[in-house]
């Protein structure tokens, strides 16, 4: 049976040492840690090391069934041959296994139906439909469905796919999910059921390259536009061309909380994307003025459309946040309320140190444009950055800028983004509320 090559340094040296061992040692090792023919339920994977986490990396696997194909559900065994669980297998990916169970539960159609039904029921329990028709229906590992995110936007479902196994089962998953949801309805016409859900599939280019699949581009990009409602504000969502799934539902509660602090205030929305915080501050918070800044021209174009859609006047600035803040500091311009919600600055572990430096530098500038007694809401959506590391970067930034801060609160994503205790990455969003003096 083939043994998967560990992805770690000094592989050749290690293999030379192993080959020098006697055949008796090898036979003993195999007898202890390898299955005899037919001992494992096929297809199977055996682990070199195990942890109660949905991600099993390639270096943690000692052997795999020759019959196991990329995307298969496999039975997973620990190094002593005991059943560890079942997961989606992809030997070409760095995340070679995405665990679905940590027992011997069968992963069949009934399994997927049960997991999706639980996710839908949780959102119904939260009562989201009272305030919005845009929310996360499936939060990947947070809903024990590793590799899958599903957002609901009005009568549309956007599937964001992170694994080959999930991509291969999209027809099944979309059928089961729409069965659980029933016919869609609009927030402004709750008693009028529409005929069917529209389905959009998204995947990041890097994920596609690593996992080995390709989502076909939509035949009609304009068909990927939809209007949603949140806290009385309307937004255009570009599901086909926008970042991630087109809108950031995770900040829903933070948008409203921030807006409630903005009555009569001059507001700065940095890295505004399609204008969520600024629009909510103006419409739900009665802000006096709002300036929204982003480097993405396409996102700003949608933000301007959103302002027209809601008949409000907002100043939109096409600029890099670093350069804009330096200019405001040079001009002596300050704001009553500032929200800083940058894109992910630490996407991988190799980016972590550089990402933390960027968070530090950006916050050191942002805190200087807050009027004394004003409020700064600063965020990080980098799952690899811990709350403690992010807080330390922000506090050091404030000290560097010579500003004193008080922590008014620390939060995260809205509750339709549940956190799995065994997967800290599901608590990816950090939001710190600071009073600045």
Residues assigned a catalytic role: 381
Task: Please name every residue paired with 200 in a beta bridge, in sequence order, or none if there are none.
Answer: 158
Residue 139 contacts residue 426 (beta carbons within 8 Å) = yes
Residue 91 contacts residue 75 (beta carbons within 8 Å) = no
Residue 96 contacts residue 155 (beta carbons within 8 Å) = no
Continuous segment of H or E residues that includes residue 335 = strand 335-340
Q: How many CB atoms lie within 10 A of CB 354?
A: 10
As given in the structure block, the two tokens for residue 121 are 């029921």
Edge-to-edge strand ranges of the sheet holding 55-57 = 55-57, 95-101, 83-89, 73-77, 44-47, 61-64
Q: How far apart are CA 128 and CA 228, in angstroms?
A: 13
In terms of Cα–Cα distance, which of 88, 94, 84 is closest to 69?
88
Q: How far apart are CA 374 and CA 367, in angstroms?
A: 10
Q: How far apart are CA 79 and CA 77, in angstroms?
A: 7
37: DSSP letter:
T
Q: How many CB atoms lie within 10 A of CB 83?
A: 16
Reply yes or no: is the peptide bond before residue 317 cis, omega within 30 of 0. no
User: Which residues are CB-neighbours of 135 under 8 A, at least 6 positions away?
Assistant: 123, 128, 151, 152, 249, 252, 414, 416
Continuous segment of H or E residues that includes residue 308 = helix 297-310
Q: How far apart are CA 374 and CA 258, in angstroms?
A: 12
Sequence-ordered strand ranges (E) for 13-82: 44-47, 55-57, 61-64, 73-77
251: DSSP letter:
G
CA distances from 159 to 49, 140, 163, 198, 267 (A): 32, 11, 12, 11, 34
Phi, psi of 39 (to 5 degrees): -75, -30
Residue 135, SS3 per DSSP: strand
Residue 81 CA, distance from chain mean position:
34
């Amino acid at each position: 049976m083939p043994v998967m090559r560990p992805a770690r340094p000094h592989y050749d040296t290690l293999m030379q040492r192993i080959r020098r061992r006697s055949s008796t040692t090898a036979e003993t090792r195999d007898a202890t840690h390898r299955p005899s023919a037919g001992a494992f339920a096929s297809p199977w994977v055996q682990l070199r090391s195990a942890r109660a986490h949905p991600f099993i990396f390639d270096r943690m696997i000692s052997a795999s069934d020759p019959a196991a194909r990329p995307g298969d559900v496999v039975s997973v065994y620990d190094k002593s041959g005991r059943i560890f669980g079942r997961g989606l297998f992809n030997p070409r990916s760095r995340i070679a296994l995405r665990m679905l169970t940590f027992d011997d539960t069968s992963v069949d159609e009934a399994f997927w139906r049960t997991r999706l039904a639980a996710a839908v029921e949780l959102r119904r329990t939260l009562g989201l439909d009272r305030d919005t028709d845009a929310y996360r229906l499936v939060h990947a590992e947070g809903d024990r469905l590793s590799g899958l995110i599903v957002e609901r936007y009005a009568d549309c479902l956007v599937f964001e796919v992170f694994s080959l196994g999930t991509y291969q089962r999209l027809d099944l998953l979309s059928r089961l999910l729409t069965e659980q949801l029933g016919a869609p309805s609009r927030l402004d016409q709750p008693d009028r059921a529409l005929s069917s859900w529209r389905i959009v599939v998204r995947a990041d280019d890097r994920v596609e390259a690593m996992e080995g699949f390709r989502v076909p581009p939509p035949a009609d990009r304009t068909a990927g536009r939809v209007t949603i409602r949140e806290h009385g504000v309307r937004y255009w969502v570009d599901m086909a061309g926008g970042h991630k799934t087109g809108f950031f539902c995770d900040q829903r509660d933070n948008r409203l909380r921030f807006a409630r602090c903005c009555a009569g205030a001059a507001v700065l929305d940095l890295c505004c994307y399609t204008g969520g915080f600024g629009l909510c501050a103006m419409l739900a918070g009665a802000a006096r003025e709002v300036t929204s800044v982003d480097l993405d021209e396409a996102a700003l174009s949608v933000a301007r459309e959103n302002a027209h859609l809601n008949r409000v006047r907002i100043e939109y600035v096409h600029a890099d946040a670093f350069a804009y803040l330096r200019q405001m500091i040079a001009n002596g311009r300050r704001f009553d309320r500032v929200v800083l919600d940058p894109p992910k600055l630490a996407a991988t572990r190799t980016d972590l140190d550089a990402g933390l430096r960027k968070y530090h530098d950006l916050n050191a500038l942002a805190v200087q444009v807050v009027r004394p007694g004003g409020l700064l809401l600063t965020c990080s959506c980098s799952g690899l950055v811990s709350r403690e590391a992010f807080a330390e970067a922000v506090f050091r930034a404030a000290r560097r800028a010579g500003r004193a801060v008080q922590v008014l609160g620390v939060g995260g994503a809205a509750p339709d983004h549940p956190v799995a205790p065994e997967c800290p990455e599901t608590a990816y969003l950090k939001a710190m509320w600071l009073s600045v003096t």
